[in-house]
Amino acid sequence: MLKKLLWVFAAIGAAASMPPASAADNDDAVVLVAAPALRDPDYRQAVVIAVPIEGNRHLGVIVNRPTRRTLSSLFPEHEPSKKVVEAVYFGGPMSRGAVIAVVKTEKDPGRGSISLTKEMFLAMTVNIVDKVIEETPNNARYYVGYIVWRPGELRLEIDRKLWHVVNADTDIIFRKDTNGLWDEMMRLARAVTAQAGPLDRFVPAIH
């Protein structure tokens, strides 16, 4: 039943445009912190986890935009969804009807997931998200929508100083209260810039 609901929900948000998900055996994910100069309403004061995907593109989700909806409100007939106590998050402006998940696990959830770090995966496909909800519902955070950067686009945005870049960390992504997260990450990003110089050492996969 959930599988059918997810397909319907994804179709509403044009999830047919979702980029192919392929596992990457690396720790290339980074956290992007929107600079004050980034005034687009979708990204203003956003904290994003981003990872390279095939085609020399990058994919990410905003981690500090909780909504007022829950999985159980989206899928009221699906019992496992009722076990998820956290709100669903707004992941980005693309395919806002697509439900994806960041899963806290050291085990690859399966085909259709992308490695973020050694203990985090991004579940992109209906089957994998369905499996996570059924088996380990509270070991994940769920998002509607995501962000995709075209080849070279993220590198250009970083060069324009629209994003600060820091290392990806599970505690950042799964922080319970995201109020004030942007301010905290801005302080961290500035400290990293002052201590480490060029941020390229944090973004080997951003071309």
pLDDT of 56 above 80:
yes
Of 144, 181, 201, 189, nearest to 162 by C-alpha is 189
pLDDT of 26 above 80:
no
Inter-residue contact 56 to 152 (CB < 8 Å) = yes
Residue 95: CATH number of its domain = 3.40.1740.10
pLDDT of 39 above 70:
yes
Q: Residue 145 falls within a domain, yes or no?
A: yes
Q: Residue 150 has what DSSP assignment? A: P
Looking at residue 19, its pLDDT comes to: 56
pLDDT of 25 above 50:
no
Looking at residue 192, its pLDDT comes to: 76
Q: What is the mean pLDDT of residues 31-50?
A: 96
Q: Residue 125 falls within a domain, yes or no?
A: yes
Looking at residue 207, its pLDDT comes to: 54
What size, in residues, is the chain? 207
Q: Residue 207 falls within a domain, yes or no?
A: no
Inter-residue contact 61 to 71 (CB < 8 Å) = no
Q: What residue numbers bound the domain in which 55 lies?
A: 2-202
Q: Residue 179 falls within a domain, yes or no?
A: yes
Q: Which helix (H) or strand (E) holds 24?
A: none
pTM of the complete model beyond 0.85: no
Query: How many Cα atoms are found within 13 Å in the side-chain-facing hemisphere of 87?
Result: 14
Q: Compare 4 and 119 and report the one with higher pLDDT.
A: 119
Q: Residue 62 falls within a domain, yes or no?
A: yes
Q: Residue 66 has what DSSP assignment? A: B
Q: Residue 140 has what DSSP assignment? A: E
Residue 158 to residue 162: CA distance in whole angstroms: 6
pLDDT of 9 above 60:
no
Q: Residue 122 falls within a domain, yes or no?
A: yes
Tokens of 70: 């829950």
Q: How many domains does the chain have?
A: 1
